[in-house]
């Protein structure tokens, strides 16, 4: 066991960044779930992850260390994936099978790239499982700023975005608003930043854990929002602090298990 205050000073950017990012990812995940697009998010995340790995491979081959390359390629491939799913797949009745096929395809390509570039092996593990404790201050600050800005947009337009999600789910949407386009763009940017700095497991877990528990006992939209934020914020903070108390516990599993524990507590509370 170690003293907590010195550790909190060391992780003064990583801790708030991971906690706030978890909350904003939960807000994003709730909207995608309401739009019945959960499978699409997994494909989008895997496509983005492939782009990040390709960016790492480019850095290795060129002997450089430009993180912007991974972010740019991740964003580009994620955007192409999103367009592909929206334009060619979403109208098909068997689209879930196609999404799974795309997910496996991107996953296979990721491992192929890592196999062809042996220096990437340690980076691949980090990009999937993540380690919030070793996140750079620059990455943590960037993720924190992005999460705060997009989180403010989501909260200020929560009812309108939720109505849009309802319309998309029952096929009553008539036109595409600029706020919905901004939501798609923000989703792409924030998930790419989270995967690059915090890992695929953290990103996918934070997208869906809180919303899964909050939806079960919520009486209305406000109750759902409050419970979701409590699960994401308190669960992530608790899990991160627990991981800091032991050198043997990795941060990402602790953060996700913390969210699940908080979700269970709220689920069983009458």
Structure-block tokens of residue 64: 């450089």
d(CA 26, CA 229): 8
Chain-centroid distance, C-alpha 105 = 20
CA distance 184 to 234: 27
Domains in the chain, CATH or no CATH each = 4-268 (1.10.3470.10)
The backbone region for 199, taken as left when phi is positive above 0, alpha when psi lies in -120 to 50, beta otherwise, is: left
Looking at residue 156, its pLDDT comes to 93
> What are the helix and strand counts (H, E) for the chain?
12, 0
- Condensed to tens digits (0 to 9), the pLDDT of residues 198-207 reads 888 899 999 9
Residue 210 has a pLDDT of 92
Q: CA-to-CA distance for 263 and 259, rounded, in angstroms?
A: 6
Query: Cα–Cα distance between 17 and 37 in angstroms, integer?
Result: 26
Task: Give 200-217 as a DSSP string.
Answer: HHHHHHHHHHHHHHHTTS
pLDDT of residue 207: 94
On the CB side of 227, CA atoms within 13 Å amount to 26
- CA-CA distance, 206 to 197, in Å (whole number)? 14
CA distance 152 to 156: 6
C-alpha 254/C-alpha 132 separation (Å) is 10
| Tokens standing for residue 124 | 């691949």
pLDDT at 231: 94
CB hemisphere CA count around 174 (13 angstroms): 0
Low-confidence ranges of the chain (pLDDT < 70): 1-4, 7, 88-94, 119-130, 171-176, 268-270
* Cα–Cα distance for residue pair 101/223, rounded to 1 Å: 36
């Amino acid at each position: 066991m170690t003293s907590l205050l010195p550790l909190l000073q060391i992780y003064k950017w990583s801790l708030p960044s991971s906690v706030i990012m978890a909350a904003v990812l939960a807000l994003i995940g709730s909207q995608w779930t309401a739009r019945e697009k959960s499978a699409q998010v997994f494909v989008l995340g895997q496509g983005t992850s492939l782009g990040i790995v390709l960016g790492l491979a480019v850095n290795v081959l060129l002997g450089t260390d430009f993180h912007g390359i991974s972010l740019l390629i991740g964003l580009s491939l994620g955007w192409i994936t999103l367009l592909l799913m929206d334009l060619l797949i979403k109208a098909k009745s068997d689209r879930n099978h196609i999404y799974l096929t795309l997910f496996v395809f991107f996953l296979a390509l990721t491992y192929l790239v890592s196999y062809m570039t042996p220096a990437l092996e340690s980076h691949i593990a980090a990009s999937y499982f993540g380690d919030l404790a070793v996140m750079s201050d620059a990455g943590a600050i960037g993720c924190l700023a992005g999460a705060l800005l997009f989180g403010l947009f989501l909260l200020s337009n929560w009812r309108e975005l939720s109505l849009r999600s309802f319309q998309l789910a029952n096929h009553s949407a008539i036109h595409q608003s600029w706020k919905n386009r901004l939501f798609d763009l923000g989703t792409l940017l924030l998930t790419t930043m989270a995967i690059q700095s915090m890992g695929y497991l953290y990103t996918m877990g934070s997208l869906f854990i809180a919303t899964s528990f909050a939806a079960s006992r919520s009486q209305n939209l406000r109750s759902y929002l409050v419970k979701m934020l409590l699960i994401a914020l308190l669960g992530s903070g608790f899990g991160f602090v627990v991981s800091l108390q032991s050198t043997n516990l990795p941060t990402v599993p602790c953060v996700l298990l913390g969210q699940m524990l908080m979700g269970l507590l709220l689920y069983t509370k009458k």
